[in-house]
């Protein structure tokens, strides 16, 4: 496909390769020496988010070429199709309308009426629980809510709840999360809770996810042993969130306790929907609406800003440059705020489940690499874990450093404020110092300081810094939406569908077949020798001695 200037994508790819060759022997330290205003030239702002690309191994001409690649792949057209609700998830014939979950109520449409109806239902549930009007079957007030989900029904809500601990509603109940299929989480948690005052939220888009249903079954059995087998136990102690009213009915969840989402909401994009009920229970409905508002502001920016000023698009194009042109296939997410502990895991799912694809929309093998391997950890912990590899290892890694500019400022009149603000400044100092050392290497040291070989730092490792004004619902919403749109823009460049996950579905199918064999149904001879041997070992351990 051609751009408006008529330059084919293949030509732009070649131009980018030539640009990489021209920059290959120019160290990042030299780039800064050649361009003292590099930060102002290569940083952009969108709402509460500042994007600093100055430590990436590129220049303004590189960004122009990358913008041409976006045009050649018709990124503007694909963005318009996304926001028009077209079925761009072509393998499932679905739209991808997670953005519609955060459109303000002032913009009514049939879809928005459905969204608003569920938001209103969620509001009533949250207010009832916060007002201590939701009671268990014995009449006790609900004090603990356990979200039972997996994947997007767990990672997103848990990450946001933990990230917004400072925004907790004064009426909030305690929130807990269960996802592991082996029962270890639910077993340990049930020993800490009282059945009389515990409410469970079963979050499953299809309401067929085996991990979730097994955990829910364990929770139901625990309640029934303590409170009896009456149907009122389920009515007082379970809420369901799903796209399948029928499946929730079959499980026994009353209609009044059901919240709905739609097939156009992908699991890893679902925290903005009723799947976000634990978030609303934690920070209140106003906080939840602020989260949606921050994401909507980023939606508007993504849909209208030119490529060279468009924060999600610049994040995407920089990733394409690093992966496809510079050949860097590992990416670390490094938040310098303990509240963002679960962000790397959330982004790992968002990016790798979306863009871990090897087939184009036309059903052909992709001609380039797609999503890099992504992982991460809270920066101060990571410094004492894997930064050694980042600084002196043989594998190149790109990094995203993420931090809020302000924290504890609301405590400035508190006696402990100075110490806490000092700790935040320490975290920021480490964040900036680590990205500087990765970029400059030994050039970051005083010129007269000579190091032995085993202590030398080559530097020239590219990184991006994302600086939030502060970590609150609005800014977190903007940050998460920026990453969502980054993923979509990269998928357009790579010509893949980021909204399906057939590899995951096939894994579930094979697991179901294997479960039958472990339980003695079927013939293990149909399996490979390794699986047969492992199943045999497990069965042998279950035999009476």
Q: 375 forms bridges with which residues in the sheet?
A: 332
Cα(197)–Cα(237) distance, integer angstroms: 8
Q: Following CA atoms 473, 478, 479, 483 in sequence, which dihedral angle do they give, to the nearest 10 degrees? A: 140
Is the CB of residue 91 less than 8 Å from the CB of residue 500? yes
Distance CA 318, CA 323 (A): 9
- CA distances in angstroms from 535 to 3, 136, 267, 542, 543, listed in the order given: 55, 42, 32, 11, 13
Known catalytic residue: 353?
yes
If phi > 0 it is left, if psi is from -120 to 50 it is alpha, else beta; for residue 59 that is: beta
Point out the catalytic residue in the list 24, 384, 413, 454.
384
Inter-residue contact 100 to 112 (CB < 8 Å):
yes
**Residue linked to tokens 């205003």:** 37
384 is catalytic: yes
CB 336 within 8 A of CB 403: yes
Which among 390, 522, 411, 532 is positioned nearest to 463, based on CA atoms? 390
Q: Residue 164 is encoded by which pair of tokens? A: 């917004």
Structure tokens at 144: 């603990």
Instruction: Answer for the pair 58, 321: CB distance below 8 angstroms, yes or no.
Output: yes
Rounded to an integer, what distance in angstroms lies between the CA atom of residue 482 and that of residue 485? 5
**Is residue 125 a contact partner of residue 239, using CB atoms and an 8 Å limit?**
yes
Q: Catalytic residue at 24?
A: no
Query: Burial level of 184, CB count in 10 A (0-12/13-18/19+)?
Result: exposed
CA distances from 417 to 403, 410, 424, 425, 470 (A): 19, 9, 11, 12, 16
Q: What phi-psi label fits residue 441: left (phi over 0), alpha (psi between -120 and 50 degrees) or beta?
A: left
Q: How many CB atoms lie within 10 A of CB 14?
A: 11
Angle between helices 277-304 and 110-130 (to 10 degrees): 150
Q: Which of 61, 409, 458, 508 is catalytic?
A: 508
The CA–CA distances, whole Å, from 309 to 20, 52, 485, 495 equal 22, 12, 14, 23
Active-site position among 130, 176, 205, 353? 353
Residues with a known catalytic role: 353, 384, 508
């Amino acid at each position: 496909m051609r751009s408006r200037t008529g330059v084919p994508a293949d030509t732009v790819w070649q131009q980018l390769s030539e640009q990489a060759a021209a920059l290959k022997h120019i160290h990042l330290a030299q780039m800064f020496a050649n361009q003292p205003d590099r930060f102002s030239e290569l940083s952009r702002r969108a709402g509460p988010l500042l994007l600093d690309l100055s430590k990436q191994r590129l220049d303004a001409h590189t960004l122009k070429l990358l913008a041409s690649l976006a045009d050649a792949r018709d990124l503007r057209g694909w963005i318009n199709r996304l926001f028009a609700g077209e079925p761009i998830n072509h393998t499932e014939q679905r739209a991808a309308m997670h953005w519609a979950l955060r459109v303000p109520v002032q913009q009514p449409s049939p879809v928005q009426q459905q969204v608003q109806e569920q938001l209103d239902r969620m509001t009533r549930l949250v207010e009832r629980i916060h007002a201590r009007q939701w009671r268990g079957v014995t009449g006790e007030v609900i004090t603990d809510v356990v979200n039972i989900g997996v994947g997007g029904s767990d990672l997103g809500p848990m990450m946001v709840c933990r990230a917004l601990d400072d925004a907790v509603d004064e009426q909030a109940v305690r929130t807990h999360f269960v996802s592991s299929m082996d029962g270890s989480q639910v077993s340990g948690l049930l020993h800490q809770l009282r059945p009389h005052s515990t409410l469970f939220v079963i979050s499953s888009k299809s309401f067929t996810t085996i991990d979730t249903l097994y955990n829910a079954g364990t929770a139901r059995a625990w309640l029934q042993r303590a409170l009896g087998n009456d149907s009122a136990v389920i009515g007082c102690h379970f809420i369901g969130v799903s796209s399948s009213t029928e499946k929730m009915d079959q499980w026994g969840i009353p209609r009044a306790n059901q919240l709905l989402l739609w097939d156009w909401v992908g699991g890893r994009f679902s925290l903005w929907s009723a799947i976000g009920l634990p978030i609303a229970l934690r920070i209140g409905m106003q906080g939840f609406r602020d989260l949606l508002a921050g994401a909507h502001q980023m939606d508007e920016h993504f849909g209208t800003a030119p490529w060279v000023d468009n924060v999600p698009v610049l994040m995407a194009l920089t990733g394409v440059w690093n992966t496809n042109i510079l050949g860097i296939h590992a990416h670390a997410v490094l938040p310098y705020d303990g509240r963002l502990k679960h962000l790397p895991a959330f982004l790992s799912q968002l990016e790798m489940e979306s863009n871990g694809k090897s087939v184009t929309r036309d059903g052909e093998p992709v001609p380039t690499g797609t999503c890099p391997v992504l992982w991460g950890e809270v920066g101060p912990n990571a410094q004492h874990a894997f930064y050694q590899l980042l600084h002196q290892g043989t594998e190149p890694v790109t990094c995203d450093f993420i931090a809020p500019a302000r924290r504890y400022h609301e405590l400035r009149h508190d006696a402990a404020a100075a110490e806490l603000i000092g700790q935040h400044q320490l975290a920021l100092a480490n964040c900036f110092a680590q990205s500087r050392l990765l970029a400059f290497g030994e050039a970051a040291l005083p010129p007269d300081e000579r190091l032995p070989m085993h202590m030398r730092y080559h530097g020239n490792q590219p990184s991006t810094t994302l600086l939030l004004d502060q970590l609150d619902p609005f800014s977190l919403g903007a940050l998460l939406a920026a990453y969502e749109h980054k993923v979509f823009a990269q998928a357009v460049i790579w010509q893949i569908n980021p909204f399906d996950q057939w590899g995951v579905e096939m894994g579930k199918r094979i697991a179901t077949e294997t479960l039958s064999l472990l339980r003695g149904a079927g013939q293990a001879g149909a399996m490979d020798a390794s699986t047969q041997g492992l199943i045999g070992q497990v069965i042998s351990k279950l035999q009476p001695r």
